[in-house]
Amino acid sequence: MGRLFGTDGVRGLANGSLSPELALQVSAAAAQVLSRGKKRAVAVVGRDPRASGEMLEAAVTAGLTAAGVDVLSVGVLPTPAVAYLTGLYDACLGVMISASHNPMPDNGIKIFAAGGHKLDDAVEDRIEALIAEGSFHRPTGAAIGRVLGRPGLGGHVYDVYDSYSLEGTHERYVEHLVQATGRDLRGLTVVVDCAHGAASEVGPTAYREAGATVIAINAEPDGLNINDGCGSTHLEQVQAAVREHRADLGLAHDGDADRCLAVDATGAVVDGDAIMAVLAVAMRDSGELAANTLVATVMSNLGLHIAMRDAGITMRTTAVGDRYVLEDLRAGGYTLGGEQSGHVVFPKYGTTGDGVLTGLKLMARMAETGRSLAELASIVHTVPQVLLNVPVSDKAAVAVAPSVLAAVAEAERLLGDTGRILLRPSGTEQLVRVMVEATDQTQAHNLADNLAKLVAAV
């Protein structure tokens, strides 16, 4: 069996490579690994609105309860909400069923350990080994897990779980977000593209509770329309709506709302790098930026590095994936990190990227300074970047192909210190991502095209 976990959980075609049987095995194995030492363990389970989530939630619940773990099903909520509630309820693990920005036919299983933290490689390896062995502990009788919040459990051991109720979970998360905002947002008008996803309810609610005037679009999920031509991977609708409504800014989330991208009042895109720059300077000014350091991944543009250097802020870089950003944040005690794609992490308030919190913090900086988003984001001058997703049959073979290695070395020689090259296998698809940055746009395109052809030929 190849590695099951990608950069962000287990992902695949729902009812295809990601079958109910696999979902049951993954959840049962995770329960066995993460609930050791607990007499009565609890798992928080949430999902995004895609239709296959209903099927997979049933399978995940079956796997968890078969392993003797009680399940608190919180319904449709963003990934960061499930992580937050896992910590709030002192659960042994949390499970989010979502394929994030992927199209509707896909789905995924993201697992959080106690405290809402993403799993490290060693824990994922233990879960995969248990699945490969196929030997699970199966309690019987009263030791079988139950689904909490359902009627008919009175007089049972679950009296101790009176606080575990489906009522109020959404409200608790929204309250947590608004309290973290730190500033009244009255006077700001924002268009929010919810991608027909997990933030369709709590996103607009949180922005309104913080005081902003909210125009919500793509906030009517039907199970089939998630990410369909909208959200953080398709910004055209939010750009048009900002201009139409003369809003101060637009925000776009992905299907599970752990991402946030923005557009300014003119409709110009403000990507994750620019958002991180704005927030890093804000936290520097308030004394909240620990060690004056921002943590980002190797995908962040050179323009961000230059802007942070000019602002007196140190940048640390990690492998791609917010889990690696999180590991570095925790190891160094840093207070801000994220990705160009719009995952932004505030360890003080959460253990994973939180798109709605990012939007709130961005607007708080606008309210604090009285400056437009365009003005705030202007500190980043993006170096031309070309990113090509190249379908391949064997991602691992590309990394050692002599033709590719030689071409990369020659391209790096040509660029010198005026650009950079990055080839990275996708963590969730059979793709290799070819990224070239160069001060000359034409040169960047030519180098990227040549490398992509070589990668495709491997």
Is 297 part of any domain?
Answer: yes
Residues 326 and 431 both lie in one domain: no
Q: Which residue has the higher pLDDT, 6 or 295?
A: 295
Is 258 annotated for ligand binding? yes
pLDDT at 7: 78
User: What's the rounded mean pLDDT across residues 100-123?
Assistant: 95
Query: Would you say 341 is a known binding-site residue?
Result: no
Asked whether residue 5 is assigned to any structural domain, the reply reads no
- Do 160 and 203 lie in a common domain? no
143 within some domain: yes
Asked, for residue 3, whether it belongs to a domain, the answer is no
How far, in Å, CA of 221 to CA of 50, rounded? 8
**Would the pTM count as exceeding 0.85?**
yes
pLDDT tier at 2 (50, 70, 90 boundaries)? low
β-partners of residue 97 are 47, 109
What token pair was written down for 297? 């991944």
Host domain of residue 347: 171-377
Q: Give tens-digit pLDDT for 205-256.
A: 999 999 999 999 999 999 999 999 999 999 999 999 999 999 999 999 999 9
Return the active site residues: 100
Residue 246 is assigned to a structural domain of this protein:
yes
For all residues of the chain together, what is the average pLDDT? 92
Whether 239 and 307 share a structural domain: yes
Task: Give the model's confidence band at 167: pLDDT under 50 very low, under 70 low, under 90 confident, else very high.
Answer: low
Domain end position, chosen among 325, 342, 377? 377
Strand ranges, E, within 27-143: 41-47, 69-76, 93-97, 106-113, 117-118
Same domain, 222 and 106: no
How many percent of the chain have pLDDT more than 90? Answer: 83
- Quote the CA–CA distance of 360 and 215 in Å, as a whole number: 15
Rounded average pLDDT over 25-45: 90
The two three-digit tokens of residue 35, written as one number: 């609930």
Quote the pLDDT of residue 155.
35
Alpha helices (H) along 246-320? 272-286, 302-310
Residue ending a domain, choose from 317, 346, 377 = 377
Residue 451 lies in a domain: yes
In a domain, 139, yes or no: yes
Q: What is the pLDDT of residues 125-164, one digit of tens each?
A: 999 999 999 888 899 999 999 998 654 444 343 444 444 5
pLDDT, one tens digit per residue, over 69-109 is 999 999 999 999 999 999 999 999 999 999 999 999 999 99
Give the integer Cα–Cα distance in Å for 151 and 153. Answer: 6
Q: Of 349, 377, 405, which residue constitutes the final position of a domain? A: 377
Find out whether 393 is annotated in a ligand binding site: no
Total domain count, the chain: 3
* CATH at residue 423: 3.30.310.50
Q: Is residue 132 part of a domain?
A: yes
Q: Tell me if 254 is assigned to a ligand binding site.
A: yes
Provide the pLDDT for residue 222: 97
**CB neighbourhood size of 195 (10 A):** 37
pLDDT 10s digits, 40-57: 899 999 999 999 999 999
48 shares its domain with 102: yes
